Amino acid sequence: ENGILYVNGEMYEEDYISDAYRSGYLNNFSDYTVPEGYYFVMGDHRNNSNDSRSVGPITRDMIVGHVERVILPISKFWDKVE
């Protein structure tokens, strides 16, 4: 709602999303119940993401990803480099 994510009626804190990415027609998605066995996914770049708001819910086998490195918070990353 207005670029803010609510889960089960509660506002979900997302400090990592810029206010600039909270605008656009996809950010006014209405209430939605995710069907059993499906996932509702959204990208961080909310006003330019091809996610469940435009393609619908997805199954687990459609989720592909592998984390190789986590560099956030960046301050901790730079401490290790120096």
The answer, yes or no, to whether the previous bond of 73 is cis (omega within 30 of 0) is yes
How many angstroms separate the CA atoms of 55 and 81, rounded?
A: 40
The per-residue pLDDT for 77 is: 59
Q: 46: which residues sit within 8 A by CB, 6+ positions away?
A: 3, 17, 21, 22, 24, 26, 27
How many angstroms separate the CA atoms of 40 and 38, rounded?
A: 7
Query: Model's pTM, two decimal places?
Result: 0.59
Contact yes or no for 40/31 (Cβ under 8 A): no
Q: What pLDDT digit, counting tens, does each position of 19-49 carry?
A: 777 776 666 677 889 999 999 988 777 777 7
The per-residue pLDDT for 61 is: 93
